[in-house]
Amino acid sequence: MKLLEYMGYELIEKIKNKDISVQELLESCFVRIEETEGSLHSFVNFSKEKALDKAKLLDKDLKNGKKIGGLYGLPLANKDLICVKDFPTTCCSKILKGYRPPYNAFVIERLIEDQGAIHIGNTNMDEFAMGTSTENSCYGPTYNPWDITRVPGGSSGGSAASIASGQAILALGSDTGGSIRCPASFCGKVGLKPTYGRVSRYGLVAFANSLDQIGTITKCVYDSALMLEIISGKDPLDSTSVDKKVEKYTKGLDKPINKKVIGVPKEFFGEGVNKEVENVVKKAITKLEGLGAKIISVSIPHLEYTVATYYLICMSEASSNLARYDGLRYGIMSKNLSGDVYDVFSRTRDENFGPEVRRRIFLGTYTLSAGYYDMFYIKALKVRTLIKNDFIEAFKNCDAIVSPTMPSTAFKIGEFINDPLQMYLADILTCPVNLAGIPAITIPCGFNSNNMPVGFQIIGDYFDEEGILNIAYQLEQELNIYRKIAPVTK
């Protein structure tokens, strides 16, 4: 087997046993990047020299018997809105060109400084995480490793493509309405969105504060569990992070699920869900039943309102958050300084924000304006509570909820770029989870007739990451398709 075909936890054992060196692993990843990056465009900035220097240092420490951290130099791809000290972090926007954060994000400190992972570069994404396809980037689109005429999903598309193609072993992403689960589903990998507050958002450039959550994209469930153990926990620098015991998630993966009750919401298989996707997911549900789980029907009656509710809230929060990018406080100012300060600010944003970001700022500002605030924003917050209560009610009868992750497999590049409403509707099965603040994971459960991956979503109750990881692991082992590496072909 090539090194890129091993799981992260398997590579850790190989490094510990001195079967391979950290440097060998890093070099194999960079060779793979050289082979595939021209077709994929997963990354926007690399840290090759620094990464290889760290690999040599870790190998030296290992040789001398020093402890180097639990991740043993595994290569880490990082979404371009999670701050890495002194490294270009631009949110794939012209307005942040050249910005280098003066500090590390909490998750970067945990993974790299504490546990010895090696940052190899920042990955492409939809600008400020606003999108479902990774086409809204100032650097250009990323392409799906299974078919480079198709999108990888978004907004963490670069992270998902890097894992699916074997360019990296671990990856970080962020999930506001499905931005981890969508690309993980489209690229046939594991994407984990934790409970809101489980992982610190310190150092995550904000899109929508009440919805954003940092999570992971990996080759397998075990690697996701391992990363979550490391990045979870209370952070005094993030008031929304929760002081709650962090379980040893890797220890609970092997538990049998024959006593689990799994809910299937009929609304998640309604109009708009592709028939091939539905059939592949239902076959996976049958596999869970074969493992002893009890399958029941549940209802999320307010699902039809989730897309409207989600976009009203996220656009309002985006409008507020992005107000600071005026060229004076943050961002590059327009070179045309004629007119008053408002003219300069307006030109700065017009020149440096892409069309999707501008669209969301306009709509969010409108929603928050006098006369419309109660009509739209306050009403959306009330419906959000109804959606949250739907999940609370459903979890009284089941341990987890399962569904397709996305209503379709990856669509063609450019297919919906000029139809934002269709793009927004693609989030129908993922954004309810963010509105409720609960955890969810997607794993690959099969392929459609075009050999494109289908994602299977497992949703858990608040802070029950252990439960959904357990179910995901058992199903992953039963299906046994997770080791497939994308061919990176047309």
For the four alpha carbons of 415, 419, 420 and 425, in that order, the dihedral sign comes to negative
- pLDDT at residue 490 above 80? no
What is the set of active-site residues?
Answer: 79, 155, 179
- pLDDT at residue 88 above 80? yes
Is the separation of the CB atoms in 247 and 233 below 8 Å? Answer: no
CATH of the domain at 111: 3.90.1300.10
Q: Which residue has the tokens 């012209």?
A: 94
Range of the domain at 167: 3-259+439-479
Is residue 149 included in any domain, yes or no? yes
Distance between CA atoms of residues 67 and 64, nearest Å: 9
- pLDDT at residue 351 above 70? yes
Read off the pLDDT band of 371 (50, 70, 90): confident
Is the separation of the CB atoms in 167 and 77 below 8 Å? Answer: yes
Is residue 486 included in any domain, yes or no? no
Is the separation of the CB atoms in 272 and 247 below 8 Å? Answer: no
Is residue 352 included in any domain, yes or no? no
Domains contained in the chain, number? 1
* 413-422: long-range pairs with CB below 8 Å, 24+: 413/133, 413/135, 413/141, 413/143, 413/149, 413/150, 413/151, 414/135, 415/151, 416/133, 417/133, 417/135, 420/356, 420/359
Read off the pLDDT band of 285 (50, 70, 90): very high
Which of 272, 257, 305, 209 shows the shortest CA–CA distance to 402? 257
- Percentage, residues of the chain above pLDDT 90: 92
| Three-state DSSP state, 376 | helix
Which pLDDT score is estimated for 328? Answer: 87
Q: Which residues face 173 on adjacent strands?
A: 215
- Percentage, residues of the chain above pLDDT 70: 100
Distance between CA atoms of residues 90 and 122, nearest Å: 9
> What average pLDDT does range 480-484 have in this prediction?
95
- pLDDT at residue 489 above 80? no
AA letter at 452? M
Number of alpha carbons in the 13 Å side-chain half-sphere of residue 424: 17
Is residue 432 included in any domain, yes or no? no
> What average pLDDT does range 166-189 have in this prediction?
98
Is the separation of the CB atoms in 135 and 417 below 8 Å? Answer: yes
> What average pLDDT does range 300-312 have in this prediction?
97
Distance between CA atoms of residues 140 and 152, nearest Å: 13
> What is this structure's pTM?
0.97
Is residue 388 included in any domain, yes or no? no
Distance between CA atoms of residues 160 and 156, nearest Å: 6
Which pLDDT score is estimated for 1? Answer: 74
Pairing relationship of beta strands 75-79 and 170-174 according to DSSP bridges:
parallel
Distance between CA atoms of residues 227 and 205, nearest Å: 21
Number of alpha carbons in the 13 Å side-chain half-sphere of residue 314: 28
Is residue 346 included in any domain, yes or no? no
Q: Which residue has the tokens 């220890």?
A: 251
Is the separation of the CB atoms in 153 and 76 below 8 Å? Answer: no
Is residue 363 included in any domain, yes or no? no
> What average pLDDT does range 453-476 have in this prediction?
98
- pLDDT at residue 339 above 90? no
Is the separation of the CB atoms in 213 and 82 below 8 Å? Answer: no
Which pLDDT score is estimated for 337? Answer: 84
Is the separation of the CB atoms in 179 and 154 below 8 Å? Answer: yes
> What average pLDDT does range 156-173 have in this prediction?
98
- pLDDT at residue 334 above 90? no
Q: What is the dihedral of CA 439, 456, 288, 433, to 10 degrees?
A: 30
Q: From the CB of residue 105, how many other CB atoms can be counted at a distance below 10 Å?
A: 28
Q: Which residue has the tokens 């046939």?
A: 188
Altogether, the residues listed in the chain come to a count of 490
> What average pLDDT does range 184-204 have in this prediction?
98
> What average pLDDT does range 186-213 have in this prediction?
98
Residue 367, both tokens: 């929603």
> What average pLDDT does range 261-290 have in this prediction?
96
Is residue 167 included in any domain, yes or no? yes
Is the separation of the CB atoms in 222 and 473 below 8 Å? Answer: yes
Listed in order, strand segments (DSSP E) in 327-431 are 400-404
Q: Which of 35-44, 82-91, 341-350, 436-445 has the lowest mean pLDDT?
A: 341-350
Is the separation of the CB atoms in 36 and 55 below 8 Å? Answer: no
Secondary element (H or E) of residue 170: strand 170-174
Read off the pLDDT band of 347 (50, 70, 90): very high
Is the separation of the CB atoms in 212 and 179 below 8 Å? Answer: no
Which pLDDT score is estimated for 140? Answer: 98
AA letter at 383? V
Which pLDDT score is estimated for 282? Answer: 98
Distance between CA atoms of residues 444 and 27, nearest Å: 28
Where b means 16+ CB within 10 Å and e means fewer, 419-433 reads ebeebbebbbbbbbb
